[in-house]
Amino acid sequence: MSDAAPQPAQDRAATPKGSFGSVAAKGSFINTTQWLLNKVATAAAMLLIAHYLKPDDYGVASQALAIAQFLVVFFPLTMGDVLIAHPRSFERLVPTARRLAMVIGIATCVLMLATIPVFLGIYSKYPAAWLGGLLAVAALRPVLDAALMVPLARLRTALAYRRIALIDGAVQLGATALSLAFAAFGLRSASLVAPQVIGTGARALWYRRVASGVRTGRYHRTLAAILMRAYLPAASAQYLHNVIVMLEVLVLGYVSGEYQTGLFGFAFTIAAQANTVVAYQLGVVLQPIFGHLQGDPERQVNGFLRVQRVLGLVCVPISLTQAMLAEPLFRVAFAERYLPAVPVFQVISVAQAFYFATGPSMSCLRSQRRFATFFKWQGVQFVLSLPLYWAGAQWWGALGASIASGAAWAISAPIVVWLCTRVVKGNRVREVLSIFVKPWLLSVPIFAAATLAIRWLAQFGKAGDFASLLVLGPVVAMVAIGASRLVDGEMRKLSDKALVAVKAKLLRKRG
C-alpha cells in the first residue's frame, strides 16, 4: 500500500504551523491544562462520592471494569492507531477502517453479554445482580469506541489538540457530575461505571460533529486485509497491556474478594490520576508527531528520549508528593473506613514514578509500526506478572498486589524505553537508565526531609494535616521540580518556553 496520496485539504488546514517539537509542547500543554482543570472538579466530587459509597462498592465496580477490559480482546480504537501510522493514505483507508472497527465493536459487545454468566460463576463472592448489571452496561462501550474511532483519529492526525481538549474536558466534567448524582441517589457501584459509558457515547457524538470528513470511497477487501495485518498485532499488544493494567484487580477479586479489591480500586482511582493521565495525554499528542518523523528515526528517537527525560523530572516528584501526603490526605478527606487503603495508595503512587514512561513509549512503538515488539514486551510482562501478583494477593491482599505491580513496572518501564531506541545505531542503555535514576537522585533527599516534617506536623492534629496538604506538599513538589530545572538543560528550556507562552497570552488578553 502506498503512502503517497496527498493529505486532504481539511487536514492540511487543520495542521498547525511550526516545528513538531513546538506542536508537541503546545499540544501537551493544552491537553494537560484541561486535565488539571477537570481534576480540581473531580477531586471535589471524589470526596462527596466516597461519602456515599463503601469500599465494597469500589470493589464491585473495579471488578466489573477489569472483567470488561479482559473481554475486549480486539480494542476498536486501536484501528485509529493503524490509520494514524499511515497519514498520507488516511482518507483512502477510512471507509474500510470504519466498517472493520464497527464489526469488531459489535462482536465484542455480543461476546461480553454472552459470557456474563461465566464470570458470575468465577467471581461468586460478588453480588450477582450488581456485577452482572454492570457488565451488561460496560458491554456497550466497544460499540461506542468503534463509533468515535475515525473522528478522533482524524483530529489527532490534524494535530487538533485544542478541540480534543475541549471535548474531552467537557465530557469528563459531565461524567463526574453524573457520577456524583448517581451516588447521591443510591446507585452505588453503577455511579463508577455507567457515567464512563455514557461519556464515551457523548464523545462519539461530539467528535463526529466536529471532525466529520467528506464520505468518499467505500469498503475494499484488499485494504481490509492490509489494515488487519497491521491491526491484529497492534490490537493483541494493546489487549495484553490493558489486561496487565487491570491484572491486580482480576487476581485480587478471585483470591481476596470484594473488600480487598475495593481498597485497591479506591486507592488506584486516586493515586493513578496524575501521572497516568499526563502520560496518556502526552501519548495522544506524540503518536501523530512520531508518525510524521518515520523517515528520520534518529530525530524521532532523540525527541522521544528528550520527552521521557522531562516527563520523568516532573512525574517522579508528583508521585513522591502523593505518597508523602497520603496519611494527612486520608485523615482529612475520607471516612475512617478508607484508612486501610493508605499504604496501598502510597505504594501505587511510588509505582507511578515508573509507569509514566509507558504512554509515550507505546506511542513511539506504534508510530514505528513495531507492533510485534509491543506485543512481545507485554507478553513477557504478563507471564512474569501473573504469578507475582497472585503471590502478593495471597500473602498481603491489596497491599501485596500493589507491591508486586510496582516491582513489575519498575523493571518493565526502562526496558520498553530502551526498545524504542533500537531503530537507530548505538547503545542508549546509559541514557535510558538516566531517565529513571536522575529524578530519584534529585528527589529522594528532598522528600525524606519533608516526610519527617509531615510526621512532626501530625502532632498538631487537623491543623497540622492542613498545613502539610496546603503548604508543605506544594512547596516541596515545586522545590523538587525546580531542582530538576537547575540541573537539566532540556527541562530548563521547555519550562522557559512555557513561561514565555503563558506571559504572551496574558499580555494579548490585557491588550
Average confidence (pLDDT) over 120-130 = 91
Mean pLDDT (whole number) for 249-276: 83
For the chain, the average pLDDT equals: 83
CA angle 412, 62, 319 (to 5 degrees): 45
Q: What is the pLDDT of residues 164-206, one digit of tens each?
A: 878 887 888 889 889 999 999 999 999 999 999 999 999 999 9
Please report, rounded to a whole number, the percentage of residues in the chain having pLDDT higher than 90.
44
State the helix-helix crossing angle for 342-355 and 297-324, rounded to 10 degrees: 160
3 state DSSP class of 19? coil
Q: How confident is the model at residue 106 (pLDDT cuts 50, 70, 90)?
A: very high
Closest CA to 305 of 443, 428, 415: 428
pLDDT at 20: 47
* pLDDT for the residue numbered 500: 67
For 6, which DSSP code? Answer: P
Task: Tell me the three cell numbers of residue 466.
Answer: 492542613
Does the pLDDT of residue 152 top 80, yes or no? yes
pLDDT tens per residue, range 373-406: 988 999 999 999 999 999 999 999 999 999 999 9
Identify which of 503, 446, 500, 499 has the alpha carbon closest to the alpha carbon of residue 475. Answer: 446
2-53 residue pLDDT tens = 333 333 333 333 444 444 444 444 445 445 555 555 556 666 677 788 888 8
Looking up cell 463526529, which residue turns up? 208
Point out the least confidently predicted range of 35-39, 328-332, 389-393, 417-421: 35-39
Q: Would you state the pLDDT for residue 15?
A: 41
pLDDT score at 472: 94
Residue 510: pLDDT band with limits 50, 70, 90: low
Neighbouring C-beta atoms of residue 249, cutoff 10 Å: 27
pLDDT band of 275, cuts 50, 70, 90:
low
The residue assigned the cell 497491556 is: 241
Q: Which three cell numbers stand for residue 295?
A: 523517515
What is the arithmetic mean of pLDDT over 195-221?
83
Answer whether residue 93 shows pLDDT above 80. yes
Please say if the pLDDT value at position 82 is more than 60: yes
The helix/strand/coil state of 411 is helix
What number of residues does the chain have?
511
pTM (2 d.p.): 0.78
Task: Tell me which residue has cell 516526610.
Answer: 451
